[in-house]
Amino acid sequence: MRDPRYDILFEPVQIGPVVARNRFYQVPHCCGMGYARPKTAAAMRGMKAEGGWAVVSTEECDIHHTSDISPYIEQRLWDDNDIEQHSLMVEAVHAHNSLAAIELAHSGRMAPNHFSRTIPIGASGGPNPGFDPVSARQMTLRDIRELRAIYRRAALRARAIGFDIVYVYAAHMLTLPAQFLSKRFNHRTDEYGGSLENRVRFLKELIIDAKEAVGDRCAIAVRWMMDEMMGEDGLQCDEEGIEVVSMLAELPDLWDVNVSDWDNDSATSRFQPEGFQEPYIQRVKQVTSKPVVGVGRFTSPDTMVSQIKRGVLDMIGAARPSIADPFLPKKIEEGRLDDIRECIGCNICITGDYTMTPVRCTQNPTMGEEWRRGWHPEIIPAAKSAESVLIVGAGPAGLECAVALGKRGYQVTLTDANDDFGGRVLFESALPGLSAWRRVLDYRMQQLHKLSNVETYLSSEMDLDNIIEFGADRVVIATGANWRTDGFGRERYIPVPGSDQSWVYSPDDVMNGLTLQGQVVIYDDDHFYMGSVMAEVASNLGAEVTIVTPAPDVSHWTHYTLEQQAIQQHLAKLGVAIRVQWEIKEIGDQSVSFDCCYSERHMLLSCDQIIMVTSRQPNDELYQSCVDNMDQLRSAGVLTIDRIGDCVAPGTIAAAVYSGHLWARQLGDDDSDSELPFSRELIKVSA
């Protein structure tokens, strides 16, 4: 039963000519599916509508071949050939009485047009702001008129497809309307340049054009950035940011407000708390009577209600929380708050866009698998037998496997050698900035407490004899992995000379209580978050810290999670010395030597302690022991012995959770007749 305190969240909201059935709004977000995987995308978006999101949006949808952002896979609406794939998403969303929104976009000079091979266009000419050796030409007045017509045709196609809300996208400087507004990108001297009134003209015309074309049936939304978070060098909230909204306040039917650029808008939990965009969203609400959507990685219904009642916003916008739990609205409505899979703000979902692969999630292993595997986040097939399962290891893989098997109805026993559940999640969530990651553990423990068919045992180190004595039908080893100290990693495949010395440590030593002091060197050949976190730990303890990496910058892979810049800025503020493009050569007597990755230069650093953040090694001794003694296990009635998670191959926490869920889902399945374990979307070749 719904708590009356949350009734306000389920009030309908009028948006121009359409009505949203509640205040939950899945704002546009990338998913790595786009035009290449329309069935996958439609099933994912439809799942959110089923879960209670009253509005479900596409990601960025390019409206013309002059806005080709290949190789990234977003949506396209270049011509009528793209209509059919969009219809799949609209039908999936409408099937659950939700509104479908499309984010029409043109990337202007941000689009390198690698596929279309068209010269990019911009408010002004100039190089592509990325690293592509491409330049845009300045649009003529005729170009502007033609592009307005292109936007209009795209809006008409969107209405014909059945979309209920049509966006004019003007955020993140990724779009042409935003570039017209920017003093950095607009150097024109005609009626579209110079004063703010002139620079806002193009956006205003697009809104009016859309209203005239489809406003009778479709709501017109504007996605707007209130602040570029770069001071006077960019758009600022209390200056031109709010002035633009004031000038256009009543033109659109809805304002979707955020900050720019994407790194700031989708900041990780390591650097921004829930609801951090409130000051920017609230400014918009003060100058318009139209509904305002805002984001802030909302997972707490109390925070949602507070922002609505205080007049911050009208609708709860979400991208990442809707990925972590597509059924978040329905769980609030049904009073099942303990069942919410809260977003941890790790941004592993965003890596799907950068790797051009379907979105994934640490909390929700079914994300991206709705169509290709037929997985539902809240429904799992019942057990196909009365078999019992013993899971050894209660880290993220073991916990997820136990929950999924328990919900299927299997008799499950989960053991762990430690005194607490959680494995790596327990330890990593105690590190600076990562406390939200404990939600991975907390959610699964909440679920286990509800399952009477799952027994748990801590401080229970298992060996071959224990497993034989236990007598389970199936055994799953989920004993995780440990950080190496020998330097084996991406650059080196043999141990570093001197790495066996007593003052060489790993992140595991730090997480187990090692005191860092004196001169500390962090060697990072992992390139994700751990190296920078270790540097922060050491700095917080007062050590003199140097982080060294063979990569071109610190925590290089976190470009994919939108936090690399924040990480490097944070370390610089802490006073951490940063040395990039150096490969470790040898560990001497209280010193470490490095070779430059691109020259004959050498570097020697004195240090009292070195933390090797290079790679992890599976803790698979128990698994290997079982495999070597399979005859004994079979004699004891054990049918299979398998391993999951980091015990197979160390990876992300998301990968470990997925591994555990996959094993639980597949138990009892017979895939012998299938060459592929999942469906894939194929290109139709016509004559």
pLDDT in tens, 573-608: 999 999 999 999 999 999 999 999 999 999 999 999
Residue pLDDT, tens place only, 196-240: 999 999 999 999 999 999 999 999 999 999 888 888 888 888 899
Looking at residue 474, its pLDDT comes to 97
Check residue 560 and report its DSSP letter: T
Kindly state the tokens that stand for 191.
Answer: 């009626």
Residue pLDDT, tens place only, 526-570: 999 999 999 999 999 999 999 999 999 999 999 999 999 999 999
pTM: 0.95
Minimal CA–CA distance to 152: which of 205, 109, 107, 112? 205
Helices marked H in 261-342: 262-265, 278-285, 301-309, 320-324, 328-333
Residue 674 has pLDDT above 80, yes or no: no
* 353 is a catalytic site residue: no
Contact in structure between 445 and 456 (CB atoms under 8 Å): no
Mean pLDDT of the chain: 95
**Greatest C-alpha distance within the chain:** 86
How many residues appear in the chain? 687
Candidate list 29, 64, 172, 661, residue with the active-site label:
172
Burial (CB count <10 Å: 0-12, 13-18, 19+), residue 131: exposed
Contact in structure between 431 and 511 (CB atoms under 8 Å): yes
Q: Which residues contact 182 (CB under 8 A, 6 or more apart)?
A: 123, 173, 199, 234, 235
Amino acid at residue number 400: E
Kindly state the tokens that stand for 179.
Answer: 């570039």
Minimal CA–CA distance to 139: which of 184, 169, 177? 177
41-74: b (≥16 Cβ within 10 Å) or e: bbbbbbbbbbbbbbbbbbbbbbbbbbbbbeebbb
Residue pLDDT, tens place only, 322-340: 999 999 999 999 999 999 9
Helix, strand, coil fractions of the chain, as percent rounded to 5: 35, 20, 45
Q: Which residues contact 25 (CB under 8 A, 6 or more apart)?
A: 53, 54, 55, 57, 293, 315, 316, 317, 318
Virtual CA dihedral for 171, 176, 181, 186, nearest 10 degrees? 140
- Please state the three-class secondary structure of 369-437 as a single string: CCCCCCCCCCCCCCCCCCCEEEEECCCHHHHHHHHHHHHHCCEEEEECCCCCCCCHHHHHCCCCCCHHH
* 526 is a catalytic site residue: no
**Interval 453-478 mean pLDDT:** 96
Looking at residue 234, its pLDDT comes to 84
Lowest-pLDDT range of 196-210, 261-275, 405-419, 613-627: 261-275
Q: Residue 410 phi/psi, 5° resolution?
A: -75, 155
The domains located in the chain, with CATH, are: 4-355 (3.20.20.70), 388-480+619-666 (3.40.50.720), 484-617 (3.50.50.60)
Give 687's pLDDT tier (boundaries 50, 70, 90).
Answer: low
Candidate list 30, 31, 349, 626, residue with the active-site label:
30
* 114 is a catalytic site residue: no
Candidate list 25, 151, 167, 169, residue with the active-site label:
169
Give the pairing type, strands 544-549 and 577-580. parallel
Residue 661 has pLDDT above 90, yes or no: yes
Residue pLDDT, tens place only, 154-181: 999 999 999 999 999 999 888 999 999 9
Looking at residue 497, its pLDDT comes to 96
* 553 is a catalytic site residue: no
Looking at residue 377, its pLDDT comes to 98
Contact in structure between 476 and 389 (CB atoms under 8 Å): yes
643 forms beta bridges with 477
Looking at residue 414, its pLDDT comes to 98
281-303: b (≥16 Cβ within 10 Å) or e: bbbbbebbebbbbbbbbbbbbeb
Higher pLDDT, 674 or 264: 264
- Residue 35 and residue 41: Cα distance in Å, rounded? 9
Minimal CA–CA distance to 395: which of 476, 501, 312? 476
Give 140's pLDDT tier (boundaries 50, 70, 90).
Answer: very high
Looking at residue 228, its pLDDT comes to 87
Percent of the chain with pLDDT over 90: 92
